[in-house]
Structure 1
Amino acid sequence: MLSLNNVTMKFGGVVAVNQFSATIEEGTIVGLIGPNGAGKTTIFNMITGVYKPTEGSIRYVEGKKDLEVSHLRPDQIAKAGVCRTFQNIRLFKDMTVLENVFIGNHLRLKSNIFEASLRFPRYVRQEKAFYEKALYLLQKVGLEAEKDELAHSLPYGKQRRLEIARALATDPQVLLLDEPAAGMNPQETQDLMRFIAEIQKEFNLTVFLIEHHMDVVMGICEKILVLDHGILIAEGNPSEIQNNPKVIEAYLGVD
């Protein structure tokens, strides 16, 4: 569903990502790993329109849809079907859990501001549908009981789930997760692994994730890409990556 071809990102004289090429197949869970500063989040930022690649192309293919997304705005890319979460949680912390998910629906809003202000019937119908959809998503991620609580009052693990629920409200086909297990304890990490596998099947998603927790990556990813200093040094299944000399050298160095 995603195809990155010789993608390069330069910041002045610094090459953050160099000639990166990869294919993310439909319906898979793919991991992107590498040491700190390897350029992983930069790749996510290019896919989602935060950065425009210096060179190369990024294509999103879904059914008859075939888009070059390299030069689209983030909102256009999200509307096409590619959504993400962030390494540092970015919830609307002073809004309720339900309101956070409700806002994710607005990408699909067909009414204009005039209809919304005067509460025309079409807007009221959409508002009701969005409310029911938000409740459904909260039920799926186990947060229905907390729907009226403020987002900042949730424990860390539940805030991660809420951010994913908000992303799901945009109706994505491809979900990008940037270090979803960051800051979690071992039990929360195990719960997250099950949760990602469940939503991937439930919503028929293609999942591309960055993660430093090797238990998560090796436990749920079918394919793993390894980045070092902005260069793709290996790709393969978990067993192949665990035994790849280049990967071992990148993480542990050589004697």
Structure 2
Amino acid sequence: MLKIDNVTMRFGGIIAVNNFTADIKDGEIVGLIGPNGAGKTTVFNVVTGVYKPTEGQVIFNPGGSEGIISDLRPDQIAKLGICRTFQNIRLFKELSVLDNVFIGNHLRLKSGIFSSVLRLPNYNREERKMMEKAKYLLQKVGLYEEKEEKAFSLPYGKQRRLEIARALATDPKLLLLDEPAAGMNPQETQELMEFIGDIKNEFDLTIFLIEHHMEVVMGICEKIFVLDYGISIAEGNPGEIQNNSRVIEAYLGVE
């Protein structure tokens, strides 16, 4: 599904990511972990087109149709089927819950500006379908009853679900989640783990996530990559990562 091929990202004299390689297969839930400042979000920004890698490339391969996406804009990458959430929730806070998800549908809008301004029949049909889809997604993530509420009024855990619902509205094949459990209490974290598994199966997703909450990572990821100071120090299944001496040293240090 996705190959990150020897990617290096420099900012002046600082190397944020150094020669990082990762393969993500169709249908996997893959974790990317490491101490603060390890370069995890930089990897996400390279994959989604926010940054152009200094060296290396990113290859997206949905359905066997391989393509290098390293030089594409974020909107072009999103249209190919890669969407993300953010470490700091980025909702349209003054808009309703329903409108937040409705906006996500516009990525797939076929009608042009002329049709939308004049409210031509083809645009009206598309808009009705988008609204139906937004309501369907809210039902799937358990937020339909709150559809008319302002996004900022939702509890923290529900805001996370809303951001994921908006991402799902873009019809992604690969969903990137940047610290989805950040700020959640234990009950919310357990519900999130079940929720991620449910949407993976319901929407046939491949999921790539950054997470500091080890219960989440070890509980749902099939494969985990570990970064430390921008360098990949380990990869493997949860059991292998938990027992890796370099990972333990990166997190806990040595005497």
Q: TM-score range by the shorter chain?
A: over 0.9
Q: Which residue of the partner structure matches residue 83 of structure 1?
A: 83
- Partner amino acid for 1:177? L
1:94 paired with 2:94, answer yes
Instruction: Give the structure 2 partner of residue 149 of structure 1.
Output: 149
Please list, as runs of the form range in 1=range in 2, the aligned pairs for 1:1-255 lying within 5 A after superposition: 1-255=1-255
Structure 2 counterpart of 1:12, one-letter code: G
Q: Write the deviation string for residues 156-192 of structure 1: whole angstroms up to 9, x where unpaired.
A: 0000000000000000000000000000001000000
- CA shift, 1:222, in A, is 0.3
d(CA) in 1 for partners of 2:117, 2:37: 46
Q: What is the one-letter code of the residue matched to 1:150?
A: K
SS at match of 1:209: strand
Alpha-carbon deviations, 1:73-92, whole Å to 9, x = none? 00000000000000000000
Cα offset for 1:64? 4.0
User: What is the aligned-residue RMSD (CA, Å)?
Assistant: 0.5
Offset of residue 66 of structure 1: 1.5
Give the AA of the match of 2:97: V
Runs of at least 4 residues off by over 3 Å: none
What is the CA deviation profile of residues 37-60 of structure 1, one whole-angstrom value per residue up to 9, with x for unaligned ones? 000000000000000000001000
Q: CA deviation at 1:63?
A: 1.3
Whole-Å separation in 2 of the counterparts to 1:44 and 1:4: 10
TM-score, normalised via structure 2 length: 0.99
Return the letter of the residue paired with 1:94. E
Q: Tell me how far apart the structure 2 counterparts of residues 86 and 222 of structure 1 sit (CA, whole Å).
A: 22
Q: What letter matches 2:102 in structure 1?
A: F
Supply the distance in 2 between the matched residues of 1:66 and 1:156 (Cα, whole angstroms). 38
Question: d(CA) in 2 for partners of 1:70 and 1:246?
Answer: 30
- The Cα of 1:69 is off from its aligned counterpart by 0.8
The secondary structure found in structure 2 opposite 1:235 is strand
Amino acid at match of 2:141: V
How big is each residue's C-alpha offset from its partner over 1:120-146, in whole Å with a ceiling of 9 and x where there is no partner? 111011001000000000000000000
Residue type matched to 2:36 in 1? N
Structure 2 gap segments, 5+ residues each: none
CA shift at 1:65, angstroms? 2.2
Alpha-carbon distance between aligned partners in 1 of 2:83 and 2:63, rounded to the nearest angstrom: 17
**59-68 vs 129-138, greater mean Cα deviation:** 59-68
- How many residue pairs align between the two structures? 255
For 2:67 and 2:117, how far apart are their aligned partners in 1? 34
Amino acid in the other structure paired with 2:112? N
Of all paired residues, the percent bearing the same amino acid is 73
